[in-house]
Each structure stands twice: as structure tokens, then as C-alpha cells.
Amino acid sequence: SYVLTQPPSVSVAPGQTARITCGGHDIGGKSVHWYQQTPGQAPVLVVHSDSDRPSGIPDRFSGSNSGNTATLTISRVEAGDEADYYCQVWESGSDHYVFGTATKVTVL
């Protein structure tokens, strides 16, 4: 089955930029979605279809996808961005959904 690999943790100072990667074989050919989960809360979609933002998500959140790596970028990081982040894809061939291994973003 398809595997999505994320770094376990990313640390960033307030106001700086955090980049979270999601690696998968030829992931550039798939549509990648990103979720933010804070403790005790359900996940929230922050980027879909590689780089689109749902309404209400700040433009500080952006995404890209090419080759074997998709990236979620959080610009001008704030304390409230501290959370776990997951990438997700849909495998059309098997009709299965896959989540990445999660990245914990710590704001220093």
C-alpha cells in the first residue's frame, strides 16, 4: 500500500517560516491535502488539492507538490500554529485513502 512519510517534528521561531514535507512515490501525480490537529480537537483541513485553501484558512498556509515530495509551508508562524499536521492522498486505483505519519510543529 502507498506510504506517506513526514518528519516527526519541526521547530520554528515565531514570525519565521515552517516547512513540512510529505514524501511518497511519485506523489507529484496525486492530489495532496493537509490537516491541522490541535490537542483534543478533530483535524481541520488547511490546504487541499496541493495548494488551495478552504475559506477561513489564513493565507499564511500554502502548499506545493512535485516529484516525490509535497510541502506545507506556514509563513509568519504564530503560537496558535503549534499542532500536529498530516498530509493525505487518495489512491484512485485501490480507492483507498492514506494519511501521512504526522509532523508535530513546535513554536519556540
Partner 1 sequence: EVLLEQSGAEVKKPGESLKISCKGSGYSFNNYWIGWVRQMPGKGLEWMGIIYPDVSKTTYSPSFQGQVTISVDKSIDTAYLQWSSLKASDTAIYYCARRGGGSRSYFPFWGQGTLVTVSS
Question: In the complex, which residues of this chain contact partner 1 (CB under 8 A)?
Answer: 1, 31, 33, 35, 37, 42-45, 48-49, 54, 84, 86, 88-90, 95-102
| Strand pairing class (33-37; 44-47) | antiparallel
Give 24 or 100: the residue with its C-beta nearer to partner 1.
Answer: 100
Count the alpha carbons within 13 Å of 71 in the hemisphere toward its beta carbon. Answer: 10
Q: How far is the CB of 82 from partner 1 (least distance, A)?
A: 17
Q: How many helices (H) and strands (E) does the chain have?
A: 0, 9
Minimal distance in Å, beta carbon 61 to partner 1? 14
Cβ nearer to partner 1, comparing 52 with 78: 52
In 10 A of CB 67, how many CB atoms?
Answer: 10
Residue closer to partner 1, measured from CB, 6 or 14: 6
Output the nine-digit C-alpha cell for 65: 507538490
The distance of closest approach from Cβ of residue 15 to partner 1 in the complex, given in angstroms and rounded to an integer, is: 28
User: At a CB cut-off of 8 Å and minimum separation 6, what does 81 contact?
Assistant: 18, 36, 60, 74, 105, 107
Minimum CB–partner distance for residue 35 and partner 1 (Å) = 8
